[in-house]
Chains A and B, each alone.
Chain A
Amino acid sequence: MDRKETFDKVVEIIRPFVKNQEALAEANEKTRILDDLQVNSARLVDIVLDFEDRFGIEIDDESADRVQTIGDAVAVVQEKLTSG
């Protein structure tokens, strides 16, 4: 799966948790999930668990803590896909 595909899939997974849908429409890898997309911080856990389910990977706590932007999420997912 290339980076663009991963990016699109990550955005689809995040979409149900996003309060600012306008920001999501213009999202790029630098978009901050909590601040720009106004995702509730408690829902970040659900997003990480959805990444695990949808990509068939396991994300440890350290990696989960790195997820601040969409680009971070893409990087973590790709890293786990590659190492798995």
Chain B
Amino acid sequence: LEPVLPPRDRLQLTLQRQASYFFFPFLATGALVWLKGVWRLSLRDPSGVRSRFARMVDGDRPPLLVCSNHLTLVDSMILAWALSPLRGYLLRFSSLPWNVPEKANFSGTLFWNVTAFLGKCVYVTRGGPREEVRHTLLKLAHLLQAGELVSIFPEGGRSRTGRVDTENFGYGVGQLLQAVPGAEVLCVYLRGKQQGGYSDYPERGDEYEVRLERFRPRTEQGGLRGARDLATQVIDKLADMERQYFADRQ
């Protein structure tokens, strides 16, 4: 996979980024009202998490792919809220991660299409036609090479067990890492105290803990074996973080 995106797509992503930046204060305010006001969610040690995140994305750095566990439909919103205050994103908009939602879940209505466009989203069709998936990978690789953060859920969906699913994950994250040599991964373990298994929404009033670990997956293998190897390393890292999380809670 050569990370070279046609000029038309590059222009489209640039325009999307500009539009997203312009509307970001409105979208972010709406999201904060929903998360904090309506759902009454809170974060554990937000300043500590945000200062660690800022250090990780400041200055010269390799392409950075954000990989998180996935338990609710609004994890992307919680993740963005947890990693930086609004002014941090306005000063360094590349640190607001692009998201990669499943097309079938979000492209049904004009509202969601506009929201996804302004919310730095690139649709993916999991298990879709090869050319379509490859096109999405090219877009994401281009964004990473351009210094943008891209956030994906390497499990491919919400874990049905409520724990990081080390059995049923896809290898898309591995293919993306292969397309961007030298890329590092920022693993984010995100969980509400009251979260049991997976759910559509968090428990009202829940307090979220966010843990960050940055590493560079490596493999000697190419092709599908290499993609599998890289994806496995990312999932194993998230599973380790989860084990630590529960060990610390006891």
Where the two chains meet, the residues of A that have a C-beta atom closer than 8 Å to any C-beta of B are: 34, 40-43, 45-46, 48-49, 61, 64-65
Contact check, A45 vs B168: say whether CB atoms are below 8 A apart.
Answer: no
The tally of CB-CB contacts under 8 A between chains A and B is 26
In the assembled complex, which residues on chain B have CB atoms less than 8 Å from the CB atom of A48?
A: 224
Looking at the complex, which one of B126, B130, B224, B227 makes contact with A41 (CB distance below 8 Å)?
A: B126
Please, which residues of chain A bring their CB within 8 A of the CB of B126?
41
- Determine whether the beta carbon of B169 is less than 8 Å from that of A42: yes
Report how many residues on chain B are interfacial, defined by Cβ distance under 8 Å.
13
* Given A41-B126, A41-B127, A42-B156: A64 touches B224 (CB 8 Å cut-off): yes
Given the interface contacts A42-B156, A46-B228, A48-B224, does A65 sit within 8 Å of B130 by beta carbon?
yes
Query: Of residues 50 to 102 in B, which have CB atoms within 8 Å of A's CB atoms?
Result: none
Tell yes or no: B225 within 8 A of A by CB. yes
A49 touches B168 (CB 8 A): no
What would be 26 A-B contacts, judged by CB atoms less than 8 Å apart? A34-B127, A40-B168, A41-B126, A41-B127, A41-B170, A42-B127, A42-B156, A42-B168, A42-B169, A42-B170, A42-B171, A43-B168, A45-B171, A45-B224, A45-B227, A45-B228, A46-B228, A48-B224, A49-B224, A49-B225, A49-B228, A61-B130, A61-B223, A61-B224, A64-B224, A65-B130
What residues of chain B lie closer than 8 Å to A34, measured between beta carbons? Answer: 127
- With CB as the reference atom, state the residue of chain B lying closest to A42: B170
Report Cα–Cα, A63/B97, bound state, in Å.
35
Complex: how many Å from CA A61 to CA B223?
A: 9
Residues in A neighbouring B228, C-beta threshold 8 A:
45-46, 49
In the complex, which residues of chain B have a beta carbon less than 8 angstroms from the beta carbon of A45?
171, 224, 227-228
Q: Which residues of A contact B168 (CB under 8 A)?
A: 40, 42-43
